[in-house]
Amino acid sequence: MVSTVGHAAASRAKGRGSRGAGASFALHLTLVLASVIAVFPVAWLVLTSIKPRDAWQSTTVELFNSPSLDNYAQVLGQTAFPRWLFNSLLVAAMTTVLGVVLSATTGYAVSRFRFPGFRSIMWMLLVTQMFPVAILIVPIYNLMAGLGLINQFPGLVIAYLTSTIPFCAWMMKGYFDTVPVEIDEAGRVDGLSPFGTFWRLILPLSKPGLAVAAFYSFITAWAEVAYATAFMTGDDKYTLAVGIGQFVGQHKAEWGLLTASSVLIAVPAALVFLLVQRNLVTGLTAGATKS
Amino acid sequence: MTTQVVDGTAAGATARGRARRPKQPGRAGRLLSRHWYAWAMCAPVVIVTLVLIGYPLVRGIYLSLTDATEANMGRTIGMNTIPSTYEFVGLSNYVGIVSSSEFLSRLAWTVIWTVVCVGLHYGIGLGLALLLNRPLRFRSLYRMMLVLPWAVPAFVSAFIWRYLLNGEFGVVNAMLRAAGFGGLDWLDDPFWAKVSVITVNVWLGVPFMMLALLGGLQSIPRELYEAAEVDGATPWQRFRHITLPGLRPVSSTVVLLGTIWTFNQFPVIYLVTRGGPGGSSEILVTYAYRQAFEGIRNYSGSAAWGVLILALLVVMAVVYRRALRRQGEAW
């Protein structure tokens, strides 16, 4: 850490925009190295997925080995993967929409109003993020069973909401804090209700914050393993995270299938990410600064 | 604190309303009419949280005071309902856990894991954010590549790394061998297994820190640096006295969140090493989960572990918040 920082500070000494060639080289070298480390595992995954099914067991490192899409064809054609994909998309979409709407209203309320219970809600939002899955999963399972929601998508969505909403609401509060209150006041003067102000004026101004909340909700629901494994018992209800585990268990780690389906799973997540990434920096910072 | 004052009509009015409250008759009605929309906006979240976290929490705490396991838990098999036969045993689960050597060694490793991971997340994240925050060709390309680990679902990353670190067929060992070193038992040696999970978690967690800190850097006014430069401050002094204080608000939140997330980081450990070898890389959370879902399910034991984990985190958050508030920035 110290060396990176020292290096960063040192190259700033040359002044903005006018870096020496050496500093420029060092800067790009560091970033290229870091990027390679960040990208390599994912790239390797993609490369493995287009190798023949048993090629992962080769002890020599080769980038390509008769590339083909056989693994993909098999995953899509001969397993229940499409079904799991649909289930995951459904659950993730419901979680995202509900999570963003609910956390935005809560975030707005704790950002703008000081009401009895304000501090308790702030603490609640923080403390619920600390709950380890291990303590909640058995009681939630029993609760869901009591409500008849085991092996039902709504049950899973509700369980995910408990983990996405606290972070999203906390973040949205921070974001709303950066939107000037004068806008609310103007809206109120023009006769809008508090809900109207929120819906018509503040939400459209909060796209970066909403983007972060949406991204976080989607990724959480898309990638969750523990609840999905415990709650979804029928294999027509499996989500991807549960289903893909089948490739590891049943036929002794089918890395060919595993890598192909991993790529297929990562693609939608990466697409959502690309859609929102412009807003991530602004949204995250505003959220983190003020909360 | 500042927002409360600046908040103008809404906050100002409620603050006044609060101050006046004790003298007014019929205050329940007044409170309701003043705050109903704020309450209404929070209601769905509060209700869902209370039902789905409040109830399980209470139930979990209750279970932790019993000797419930899979064997004596009430259940329904076909037509027959078997009643629960577990008993209230007071604090003996907790006493058993705290006095066991398992607890201390798990706790020690969890603390090391959290401190090392968050330290590296923050350090590397800050370093990369500083680099990305300067005029630079290919900046958005770098940023996109560096953020990629965050965009890949964690369980997929865990699978990738398991494969990369595989002793026999993994790329990492292949590279080591090609460079003339022997391969390492990344996942089967207690020490290297710990190094592996930390590596994977650092790889996963840096992008979040980097993006948050990058935004934080961008919000520090340029004029400060220019003024400092005019006054002849060295780069290190500028970093120390402008950048770090300017990042404080962002840092304090992301470090707190990062600590909580890392402390409870389930998928990485569970999927990369499965807690092994021999439980050596198991943190508190995965240990508690294993208690609840492997072998004869020990509901009471895992609940007691869960309550202890939660208590540790709450204490940490309270201490942290208090430290921040002493420096004048908290709600």
DSSP codes, A117-164: THHHHHHHHHHHTT--HHHHHHHHHHHHHHHT-TT-HHHHHHHHHHHH
pLDDT at B250: 79
**Residue A109: which residues within 8 A CB-CB, separation 6 or more?**
A115, B37, B38, B39, B41, B42
Contact assignment for A225 to B155 by CB distance below 8 Å = yes
For residue B205, the chain A residue with the least C-alpha distance is A38
Q: For chain A, how long is the longest CA-to-CA vector? A: 72
Using CB atoms, which residue from B46, B123, B236 is nearest to A9?
Answer: B236
Which residues in chain A are contacts of B39 at CB distance < 8 A? 109, 115, 117
Q: Are B64 and B304 in contact (CB under 8 A)?
A: yes
pLDDT single digits (tens) A137-181: 777 887 888 888 888 888 889 888 888 888 888 888 878 887 888
B62 → chain A, closest CA residue: A139
Judge contact between B42 and A107, C-beta under 8 A. Answer: no
A275 Cβ under 8 Å from any chain B Cβ: no
Within chain A, strands assigned E span none
Closest residue in chain B to residue A287, using alpha carbons only: B250
Instruction: Identify the pLDDT of residue A42.
Output: 87
Distance separating alpha carbons of residues B222 and A225, to the nearest angstrom = 44
Instruction: Work out the minimum CA distance from A98 to partner chain B, whole angstroms.
Output: 11
Here the tokens at position B183 are: 């391969």
Of B41, B51, B253, the CB nearest to A291: B253
Q: Min CA distance, B57 vs chain A (Å)? A: 7
What integer pLDDT is reported at residue A95 of this predicted model?
Answer: 93
Q: CB distance from B274 to chain A under 8 Å?
A: no
Report the alpha-carbon distance of residue B180 to residue B182 in Å, rounded: 7
User: What residues in A contact B245, CB-CB < 8 Å?
Assistant: none
Q: What is the pLDDT of residues A41-89, one digit of tens each?
A: 888 888 888 877 666 666 566 666 667 777 788 778 777 888 888 899 9
B-chain CB neighbours of A27 within 8 Å are 131, 134, 136
More confident residue, A9 or A235: A235
The residue-averaged pLDDT of A34-40 equals 89
Most trustworthy range by pLDDT among A88-97, A220-229, B276-285 = A88-97
In the predicted model, what is the mean pLDDT of residues A246-254? 62
Contacts of A52 (CB under 8 A, 6+ apart): A65, A66, A68, A70, A256
CB-based contact, A65 to chain B, within 8 Å: no
> Does the beta-carbon distance from A195 to B48 stay under 8 Å?
no
Distance from the A145 Cα atom to the nearest Cα atom in chain B, whole angstroms: 11
From chain A, pick out residues whose CB is under 8 angstroms from the CB of B216: 285, 288-289
What is the reported pLDDT for A253? Answer: 64
User: pTM for the whole thing?
Assistant: 0.77
pLDDT above 70 as % of chain A: 81
What pLDDT was estimated at residue A98?
92
Hey, which residues does B82 pair with through a beta bridge?
Answer: B75
State the pLDDT at residue B76: 62
Percentage of residues of chain A with pLDDT beyond 90: 4
Is the N-terminal amide bond of B277 cis, ω within 30° of 0?
yes
Q: Do A132 and B288 touch (CB under 8 A)?
A: yes
Whether A199 has a pLDDT exceeding 70, the answer reads yes
CB contact under 8 A, B207 and A38: yes
Please list every residue in chain B whose beta carbon sits closer than 8 Å to the beta carbon of residue A226.
266-267, 289
Tell me the pLDDT of chain A averaged across its residues. Answer: 78
pLDDT given for residue A289 in this prediction:
58
71-110 of B, contacting A, C-beta below 8 A: none
Is B128 in Cβ contact with A241 (below 8 Å)?
A: no
Kindly list the distances between the CA atom of residue A87 and the CA atoms of A249, A265, B207, B256, B306, in Å, as whole numbers in the listed order. Answer: 21, 12, 28, 34, 30
pLDDT band at residue A252 under the 50/70/90 scheme? low
Sequence length of chain A is 291
CB proximity A178 to B under 8 Å: no
Residue B213, helix vs strand vs coil: helix
pLDDT at A13 over 60: no
Tell me the average pLDDT across A21-43: 88
Structure tokens at B85: 């036969």
Of B39, B145, B299, Cβ closest to residue A138: B299
Closest CB from B14, B42, B131 relative to A8: B131
Which residues of chain B carry a pLDDT beneath 50? 1-24, 330-331
Hey, is the C-beta of B219 within 8 angstroms of any chain A C-beta? yes
Please determine, for residue A250, whether its predicted confidence score (pLDDT) is greater than 60: no
